[in-house]
Structure 1
Amino acid sequence: MTLRILFTGEGTSDNGLVPHVETVAAEVGVQAVVTAPDFGRLGLTDCHAVADKLRAVRSLGDDYDLVIVHRDADGGSPHKRYEEVAEAVTSEWSGRPHIAVVPVRALEAWLLLDEAAIRRVAGNPRGRMSLDLPNGSAAERITDPKKLLQQTLATASGVSGRRLATFRSRFPRHRHKLLEALDPYGPVSKLTSWQAFMADLRAALDQA
């Protein structure tokens, strides 16, 4: 039996989490197919809230065995995000197994922990300019990790002028690549939000 998994994030670059879901499924011996709809390309541009996205997916006639929803805590209570996701699933897809992926502030905090990956994605793997990256849980105490990641990538690229403007415009693509390249057993594995994601995912797959 193939497990059908729906993944929804806050933007298409969040889909870089999909390979990690597939890897964990393979590790626990579950054959899984993960679908991450691009609501914009589907013409469903008004889908912002979790409930809206689930309702849109159901309107397409698709069915899934497990729903995975990414929602940043944005500095608030992660527990409230878990409740938000649970309420949306109960409202729009009652009884459907689900898990929530909830970084403490924003997902970008996870990506600030791998200097080598940042330099590589920035196109300057041998760069020596200081990036002054946070260590461990300090990454999740940064007020605006998205802004810091954008600035860090720009610094790591070593480019300037028009080339820098072009480089900055590619941030969603860079973010997606960093997320795909994230080492699940590297520094991010020390963060409680990542640990919760992995534990919840494994538990859901075990019950599938």
Structure 2
Amino acid sequence: MTLRILFTGEGTSDNGLVPHIEMVAAEVGVSAAVTAPDFGRLDTRNCHSVAEKLKAARWMGDHYDLVIVHRDADRAGRKERCDEIAQAVLDEWPGCPHIAVIPVRALEAWLLVDEPGIRRVAENPNGRQRLSLPKAAEVERIADPKKLLQETLATASGLSGRRLTTFRKRFPRHRHKLLQALDSKGAVSTLPSWQMFIRDLNRAIGQC
């Protein structure tokens, strides 16, 4: 039996989480097929809220055993985001099992613990630029991890002028690559929000 999972994030670069979901399922002997719709390409550009995305996904007519929703905690906090997601599922897909993936404060915090990955994605793996990355114990307290990741990638690239301007425009692609290749057994595994994601996912898979 294959577990059918719907994943929705805040943007398409969040789809880098899909391989991690599939890996967690495989580790407990479960085959998972994860669907991550690109609502923009499906002519559903007005899908911004969790409820709107779930409504559009349900309208497509597919059946899922589990819904996984990513929302950054931002300033709202984990509980408010979990409540928001739970209400959206109740309103749009009542009875469907779900889990909330809530990085603190934003998903980019998870990526800031992967210095080798940052250097690889910046296409300068042997660069000597000082990146001054925060320790893993500190990343979930950074006010704007997205901005820090953007600046760190720019520094790691070693580029300047027009080439740097072009490089910066590719941030969504760089973010996706970093997330997809993130070592789930490395430093990110020490972060409370990542641990909750893995714990909740394992629990949900076991109950499906």
Q: How does 1:1-208 map to 2 (within 5 A)?
A: 1-208=1-208
- Of residues 137-146 and 44-53 in structure 1, the stretch that sits farther from structure 2 once superposed is 137-146
1:31 deviates by 1.0
1:60 deviates by 1.0
Which amino acid letter does the alignment assign opposite residue 109 of structure 2? A
Q: Could you list the runs of 5+ residues in structure 1 that have no partner in the other structure?
A: none
Query: Is the Cα–Cα contact under 8 Å of residues 75 and 104 in structure 1 kept in the other structure?
Result: no
Aligned-pair identity (%): 70
Which amino acid letter does the alignment assign opposite residue 174 of structure 1? H
Q: Could you list the runs of 5+ residues in structure 2 that have no partner in the other structure?
A: none
- Of residues 74-83 and 96-105 in structure 1, the stretch that sits farther from structure 2 once superposed is 74-83
Normalised by the length of structure 1, the TM-score is: 0.99
- Of residues 135-144 and 169-178 in structure 1, the stretch that sits farther from structure 2 once superposed is 135-144
Which amino acid letter does the alignment assign opposite residue 72 of structure 1? D
Which amino acid letter does the alignment assign opposite residue 49 of structure 2? A
Measured in 2, the distance between the counterparts of 1:194 and 1:30 equals: 21
Measured in 2, the distance between the counterparts of 1:58 and 1:103 equals: 25
Local SS of the residue matching 1:69: strand
Local SS of the residue matching 1:4: strand
Query: Is the Cα–Cα contact under 8 Å of residues 68 and 101 in structure 1 kept in the other structure?
Result: yes
Measured in 2, the distance between the counterparts of 1:160 and 1:50 equals: 39
Query: Is the Cα–Cα contact under 8 Å of residues 5 and 32 in structure 1 kept in the other structure?
Result: yes
Measured in 1, the distance between the counterparts of 2:45 and 2:77 equals: 28
- Poorly superposed stretches of 4+, deviation over 3 Å: none
After superposition, what is the alpha-carbon deviation per residue over 1:80-107, rounded to whole angstroms, capped at 9, x for unaligned?
A: 1111111100110001000000011100
Measured in 2, the distance between the counterparts of 1:78 and 1:137 equals: 18
1:75 deviates by 2.7
Query: Is the Cα–Cα contact under 8 Å of residues 113 and 187 in structure 1 kept in the other structure?
Result: yes
Normalised by the length of structure 2, the TM-score is: 0.99
Local SS of the residue matching 1:206: helix
Aligned-residue Cα RMSD (Å) equals 0.6
1:140 deviates by 1.0
Which amino acid letter does the alignment assign opposite residue 116 of structure 2? A
1:137 deviates by 2.5
Query: Is the Cα–Cα contact under 8 Å of residues 76 and 105 in structure 1 kept in the other structure?
Result: no
Local SS of the residue matching 1:143: coil
Local SS of the residue matching 1:100: strand
Measured in 1, the distance between the counterparts of 2:129 and 2:162 equals: 20
